[in-house]
Amino acid sequence: MNRLVGKEVFYYESLDSTNEYMLNRAGTLDEGSCVFCDFQSKGRGRQGREWLSLNGKGLYFSFLLKPKISLKEIPRLTISVAIGISKAFDSLGIKTMVKWPNDIYLNGKKLAGILSELKILDGNNVVVGVGINLLHEKGDFPEDISRKATSLLIETGETYDRRQLLEVLLNYIDKEYVFFLKRGIDIEYFNRKDFLFGKSATYKGEKVLVRGISRDGFLIIESGGTLLEINSGEVEF
Ligand code: BTN
């Protein structure tokens, strides 16, 4: 298999966090190296949140990229990874949506999240971590999350094999990464799968409408008849 992302895949039963593992080895491992595990004792999510990493219930993996892009392009890279993941699910007949900036939704609930972290050594080392809910049943999620989260088992009734699913995901993420380096975000695909499109949000205390994303990966909102491009920290849904 001649792919970059996932050219080497390491497996552990348990790690503190697959992102932490990769960040610690960014200087010695090749671009494309990937690690996955069954359980994370300190799985982390975006904005300092914890990522629930129940033993054997989810697919928790991270891979290392060394793109020659500027810092401000990293959010776009993460969107491309989300697109690759969504295309992988399409190939399995699972109709996911992409929620800007980097979540995967299925039937209106969050199925997967992505956390990109950067380490600058002699160049950019971007660790992209992905958590996918596979075998969770409704009662496995804490009450505050259960209204918003779902798993492949809950939505499809099927038990997906972690290793096989990881292979499919890595193949699609790899293709999307190659596309991204040449041409950027596959915006046509994103527009077809945009979970937030047309939804209302709050920006600076005002109600606005989501109108899509720009090629640079900003969210486009409509506020009082004007279109604005904004960053992820600036808006609430
Ligand atoms: C989010 O939606 O907040 C992002 C969640 C990212 C979770 C994954 S699980 C594998 C990798 N290791 C971590 O510690 N976090 C990411």
45 lines ligand 1 (CB under 6 A): yes
Q: pLDDT tens across 118-137, in order?
A: 999 888 999 999 999 999 99
Q: Which atom of ligand 1 is nearest the CA belonging to 53?
A: 9
Tell me the best of 16, 105, 130 to mutate to test the pocket of ligand 1, counting ligand atoms within 8 Å of each CB and taking the most. 130
Position 116 confidence tier, pLDDT thresholds 50, 70, 90: very high
Beta bridge partners of 119: 125
Q: Return the closest-CA partner of residue 7 out of 26, 33, 28, 27.
A: 33
CA atoms within 13 A on the CB side of 104: 28
- Block residue for tokens 């990493």: 53
Q: Are 148 and 110 contacting, i.e. CB atoms less than 8 angstroms apart? A: yes
What values do phi and psi take at 45, rounded to 5?
-115, -170
Length of the chain: 237
Predicted pLDDT at 39: 97
Give the percent of the chain with pLDDT over 70: 100
- To the nearest whole number, what is the mean pLDDT of the chain? 96
Query: Are 150 and 165 a contacting pair, CB within 8 Å?
Result: no
- Residue 1: pLDDT over 80: no
Pairing label, strands 200-203, 34-40: unpaired
Q: How confident is the model over 18-39, as pLDDT tens digits?
A: 999 999 999 999 999 999 999 9
| Phi, psi for residue 145 in degrees, rounded to 5 | -90, -30
* Type of residue at 64: L
